[in-house]
Amino acid sequence: MMTIKVGLLGLGTVGTGVVRIVEGHQEDLKRQTGTGLVIEKVLVQDLTKNRSIALDRGKLTNRPEDIISNPEIDVVIEVMGGIEPTKGFILQAIENGKHIVTANKDLMAMHGPEIMARAAEKGCDVFYEASVAGGIPIIRTLIEGFSSDRITKIMGIVNGTTNYILTKMSKEGADYGEVLREAQQLGYAEADPTSDVEGLDAARKMTILATLGFRTDVTLSDVSVKGISRVSKEDIAYGKRLGYEVKLLGIAERVDDQISVSVQPTMIKKSHPLASVNGVYNAVYVYGEAVGETMFYGPGAGEMPTATSIVADLVAVVKNHRLGVNGRTVNIAYNEKKLQTDEQITSKYYILLHVADKAGVLAKITQVFADNEVSLESVNQQPNPVNPMAEIIIITHQANQASMKRVLKVFDELEVVQEIKSVYRVEG
C-alpha cells in the first residue's frame, strides 16, 4: 500500500487536532483512501516545548524548507495563520508540486484567486474547507452540492464570538461591554476583539462564500462592514417586543447577475431558523433557484471541529491523487463581477429615533419618508422613564439603500430629531 506523506505548518490548537485525527483514525482513513497517511514533518517555533500529544521529536522542525522543499512530502497542511510569511510558504510549496490544505480565512479572502490560479497552473489541489464556519462543510457544499443550481442568496452567522455576545445580551438583558469582558475571560474573545466585534472576521468569510457561491472574484473591499459594538440592550429589547432577534449576519445576494455583500447587525424574525442559532455556533442559510432554502448549522471553531474539516480536505486530496485528477477541481471564478448600486440594494429597515416630545413631530418624521418614497410597515412610540425625549421605532417596507441614506441625512439635520439612535437591516 502506498503512503502519502504530510507536512504540517503549525502545531497550535488546530494543528494538534489534525495530528490526533490522522494518527488516531488510521484504519478508517486507509479504508476511505486506500492509502496510508503519515505526518512526516511539523513546523514549530519551539522544538523543546512540552505538548499535549505524543509526537516523535524527530518530526519537529523550525525550518520551513524542511517541509515546503522536502521531495518526500506530498501535501502541506497550513494552520499557522497570518498573511506573511504564510503566503510565501504556500506559493513555494505549490511551485514544488505540493497540494495545499489550509484553514487560513485571511489568506484565502485576500489572496485566494492568486493562489488558486497558481495551483491550477501547477496541477495542485488547494482546499480550504476549515477557513469558514469550522466544522460545517459549507465550502464543499457550495462547490459541489450546488454545482447544478444557481445560488441567489447566502445569509449566515459566521462569527462565534459576536453570536455569543448577542445571545447573552438577548437572554440576560446585559450590556455589550459587560458581556464582551465575560467573553474575553472565557476565551471566546481575544484581548483585542476588534476583528470579531467590528465584523472584519465575518467579512473575510463572506468574501470566500460569495466568491464560491456566485463564481466571481469578490474581494474584501467589496464587502460593506458594520460591527456590533454599538448594539445596545435597548435595541435588543425593542426588537424582541416586535418579534425580532439581533444577529450579526453576513449577507450576499445576487439579482440579475449583480451582487452585493455585507456584514451588519440585523433584526431577524424569531420564526427564521437563524434567529435560534445561539452561543458560539455558526449557521449558513443558502437560497438556490432550484432547491429553495437550505441551512447548515454546527460549531464554528474549536480544535476538533476545525481539524475534522482539514482532514476531510486531506482525504479529498488523496482520493484525487489516486484518480490522477489533482489540480482539475480547482475552483476558478468565471463570472464577471457586477456590484449592485445603492439604488439596487433593497431591504426593510429598523430605525430608532430620539425626538422632541411635542405635537407635530411624528407628522414631520413620516413626511420625510414619504418625500423619499419609503413606505412604512409600523411606527411605535415607546415610553422610556430615563429618557425625556420621545423614542420612536419605525419598521419600513422594502426600501433601497440610496433612499434610506437620504432619509437619514434629513433626520441628521432636522431640529426635532435629537439622535438617530439605531439603524438595522430587517430580514425574515
Q: What is the pLDDT of residues 294-321, one digit of tens each?
A: 999 999 888 888 999 999 999 999 999 9
pLDDT given for residue 51 in this prediction: 87
Is the Cβ–Cβ distance between 176 and 231 less than 8 Å? yes
pLDDT, mean of residues 248-258: 96
Q: Are 172 and 275 contained in the same domain?
A: yes
CA distance 97 to 406: 54
**Total domain count for the chain?**
3
Per the structure, the complete domain to which residue 350 belongs is given by: 346-427
Strand partners, 354: 391, 419
**Residue 72, domain CATH:** 3.40.50.720
pLDDT given for residue 56 in this prediction: 86
CA distance 428 to 421: 23
DSSP state of 131: G
Q: Are 198 and 126 contained in the same domain?
A: no
Query: Does residue 192 lie in a domain region?
Result: yes
DSSP string, 396-424: ESSEEHHHHHHHHHHHHH-TTEEEEEEEE
pLDDT at 37 over 80: yes
Q: Are 386 and 311 contained in the same domain?
A: no
How much is the pTM?
Answer: 0.92
- Which uninterrupted H or E stretch holds 245? strand 244-255
Residue with cell 429597515: 349
Q: Are 231 and 276 contained in the same domain?
A: yes
pLDDT at 330 over 70: no
**Residue 149, domain CATH:** 3.30.360.10
Single-letter code of the amino acid located at 31: R
Query: Does residue 336 lie in a domain region?
Result: no
Catalytic residues: 205
Average pLDDT, the chain: 93
pLDDT given for residue 374 in this prediction: 97
Among 335, 308, 311, 334, smallest CA distance to 120 is for 334
Query: Does residue 338 lie in a domain region?
Result: no
Q: Are 289 and 142 contained in the same domain?
A: yes
Is the Cβ–Cβ distance between 113 and 333 less than 8 Å? yes
Helical spans, DSSP H, in 227-377: 233-241, 303-323, 361-371
